[in-house]
A = this chain, B = another copy of it.
């Protein structure tokens, strides 16, 4: 036996110990046809250490009765909240990630958020709003005398929340109306939300649970001078009783479309406290959105691979995944999930580096520029990821027909839980303006001082070739020449430059016609700045995924499938902009549009046999995925039947049967009341 094959055997067996084979069943047909080994790809993407970390969390949940699912049982919200709190408390007992591990590999925070979310976003939100958002805000903005709050948070002596948004103000934080009046005689701050409109609203954990809040308020000093928004730690409940503190009115805002395990609160306060801070979470939302997309696709693609409907002849039905339409509806989202996942992880790492510099007081210009760039990438990355997940989850639900509409299959919860990703941490449409402003500044500076365009993460460096790029044309006429993501990458570079130029000109034109800055910017959003920010971020996501998939270090057997995903993501995203590509002259002639569309269909067909294996890489274990039609054994109907029968009172007669059987209506007897 050659030494190499011996090593392969060894690798194989250690791989199987880490990643056991998936159960046999109807999905094997597709698994056998896949071009690559799903275990090899998973090891490449996550690495052994991270796989073990994830397994530890997932197995703990599966083995712990507190985390058991209750199929068919209706959980009243109060009960769900209690269960969610108990599970959250258990997380303190599991202590999956201690500070040392976290510092060693910060990506584990990202993974932990997402693993908890794959199980239940209410749990993930409850835990992280307290343990990370509340505690890290104090860590980053507090002074020494506030640090005791952190230890108390980590011990669950207190429970925290982050209170910025008010009933009448979300995106416009400057207009927040809660005030903090400094009283020099007592050296205290009097915090006051004057009315319902100014009360803090939507604050996760505040509804029923939090004892302390980081509250944002307009700071006033004696004499009435306003110093703008500052943050204060306010005790809102007594930890011994969970009753509100004097002067505080706090309650739950009611049922939401999703994430109902989390208690969102509304508080009105007139209270004394202190402290100031700030914190970002947008980058995490990108990752959370990608998780939702992965969950939805895992369910819909396994369903499509096992659900048979119609066929070339009677009685010979074929799986949905064999249909061009179903491939076209789902496989581009699968490519998007892979590309966006890579973007989410790498941006998280960039942010970690930035925060490291920040904590080391690294105040140089590059550090500041890095901050701006991450802000611009996150401000457009969140809209792109959350909308892609929203639309993908919707498509997945519809692609499963009636079975997608059954609550037990979880596609509804995934969509409902993803919704807030589009609006919180900055509304998507408002955030996109941050990114377009960032880009417009480069163009303005260039016109003024001819400095070279570059940024620490290099996302804008190609703008240096602005004029050259605008002069380029799409020259490809054959589908086979579109099989690499470099094609769409070049088109995206042109698109960004074109929309940047158009937005810049439109803005100048608006200003010349007498609009003030506020009005001018508002009138340049639709079709201009809004589109600019989106094509820029699509370009960045694609560029990063293109670079990754073209690294020579990618094992040869994995290269074809990854490059196809990159090519498909690029072309499919690009296909939303065909109108602009033609309008600006990058495309011309009938062939350009056709070749893009045909290439998309071709790539979908090529990836069709890999789709199930690609889902095996990203799907959590069955217990976590928790969807009968999405189970790894592919026994669609058996899984469904079992779960239907577990429903409460499924075969029982309705309790109200005498209302039908004994008390018959008299037709028209209430007509006189009309």
Contact = CB atoms under 8 A, between A and B. Distances in A.
Given A253-B644, A312-B519, A579-B579, A90 B325 contact: no
Contacts of A594: 583
Nearest to A416: B412
A59 B174 CA distance: 45
A449 interface: no
A257 interface: yes
B419 A526 contact: no
A325 B427 CA distance: 12
A174 B254 CA distance: 47
B525 A94 contact: no
Contact count band on A: 35 or more
Interface string A297-340: 00000000001111111110100000111001100000000000
Name, among A249, A257, A328, A522, the residue most crowded by chain B CB atoms within 10 Å (CB to CB).
A257
B667 A93 contact: yes
Contacts of A478: none
15 contacts: A56-B674, A63-B673, A85-B660, A169-B309, A170-B402, A209-B660, A252-B647, A254-B643, A398-B419, A398-B427, A402-B420, A405-B419, A526-B597, A578-B578, A579-B593
A73 B398 CA distance: 30
A495 to B, nearest CB: 13
A223 interface: no
Contacts of A81: 654, 656
A27 to B, nearest CB: 16
Nearest to A655: B78
A401 interface: yes
B583 A156 contact: no
A86 B663 CA distance: 10
Contacts of A284: none
A422 interface: yes
B257 A407 contact: yes
A134 B174 CA distance: 59
Contacts of A518: 310-313
Contact of A90 (B167, B641, B665): B665
B325 A429 contact: yes
Nearest to A167: B637
A60 interface: yes
Contacts of A523: 324
B78 A76 contact: no
A468 interface: no
Contacts of A654: 78, 81-82, 85, 208-209, 242, 263
Contacts of A255: 72, 74, 406-408
Contacts of A20: none
Interface string A155-185: 1110100000101111110110000000000
A640 interface: yes
Interface in A239-261: 239-243, 249-258
A38 interface: no
Nearest to A650: B251
A239 B661 contact: yes
Contact of A637 (B197, B310, B404): B197
A325 B526 contact: yes
A659 B196 contact: no
A86 B402 contact: no
A584 interface: yes
A507 to B, nearest CB: 13
A653 interface: yes
A10 to B, nearest CB: 26
Nearest to A660: B242
A407 B593 contact: no
Name, among A98, A167, A411, the residue most crowded by chain B CB atoms within 10 Å (CB to CB).
A167
Contacts of A527: 597, 601
Kindly report how many copies of this chain are found in the complex they form together: 2
Contacts of A645: 251
Contact of A93 (B72, B208, B669): B669
A77 B648 CA distance: 10
Given A156-B664, A582-B578, A328 B406 contact: no
A402 B82 contact: no
A16 to B, nearest CB: 21
B667 A95 contact: yes
Given A312-B518, A578-B583, A659 B402 contact: no
Name, among A92, A308, A324, A660, the residue most crowded by chain B CB atoms within 10 Å (CB to CB).
A660
A580 interface: yes
A585 interface: yes
A423 B405 contact: yes
A201 interface: yes
Interface string A188-219: 00000000110001100000110000000000
Contacts of A578: 578-580, 582-583
Interface string A410-449: 0110001001101110011100000000000000000000
Contacts of A169: 309
Interface in A525-544: 525-527, 530
Contacts of A667: 92-93, 95, 154-155
Contact of A665 (B63, B78, B92, B325): B92
A471 interface: no
Given A171-B401, A518-B311, A526 B601 contact: yes
Contacts of A94: 668, 670-671, 674
A295 to B, nearest CB: 15
A515 B322 CA distance: 15
A516 interface: yes
A651 interface: yes
Given A242-B661, A402-B201, A655-B78, A252 B650 contact: yes
